[in-house]
Amino acid sequence: MLSQKARYGLRALVELARAEGAQLTSGALALRADAPRKFLEAILLELSRSHVVTSRRGKFGGYTLARPATDIAFAEVIRVIDGPLALAPCVSPRLGYRKCDDCPDLAACTLREALLRARDATAEVLEAYSLADAAASGSTPAILRSAV
């Protein structure tokens, strides 16, 4: 499930994509993304450390995307904020791959195939959908507005 933290982060990044290179303050982003400012500042710091955004301090400071919006996929942002896309560690090819604690044998696991297919389908969609796609849509994607 997508965390509220990831929703706020994605909404703020979509707003940065819509700003088309203009620098926005954390306060302006919090208003545009309908997110608590302090919480969003912590998220932006995490995104800055992962080179998704760049920040500039001071009176004329703010945030911009570190790369073009077309080059930043939803999957990348979700991985930075929430971790692996996989529902179980045994199907995570990138982050945190390991055998599940309660699984005696990966080859005999009856859940792994379905979880692997779900991870692959999720990754395919989220890797193909960029901040530019969301910014061009004219509205915030429903998944980012609701708390499913």
Is 107 among the domain residues?
yes
Number of domains in the chain: 1
Per-residue model confidence (pLDDT) at position 146: 53
What count of other Cβ atoms lies within 10 Å of the Cβ of residue 75?
19
Range of the domain at 32: 4-137
Q: Is 86 among the domain residues?
A: yes
CATH number for the domain that contains residue 82: 1.10.10.10
Q: How confident is the model at residue 148 (pLDDT cuts 50, 70, 90)?
A: very low
128 within some domain: yes
Q: pLDDT tens digits, residue range 32-82?
A: 999 999 999 999 999 999 999 999 988 888 999 999 999 999 999 999 999
Pairwise CA distance, residues 139 & 43, whole Å: 22
Tell me, yes or no, whether 39 lies in a domain: yes
Mean of per-residue pLDDT scores for the chain = 89
Quote the pLDDT of residue 15: 96
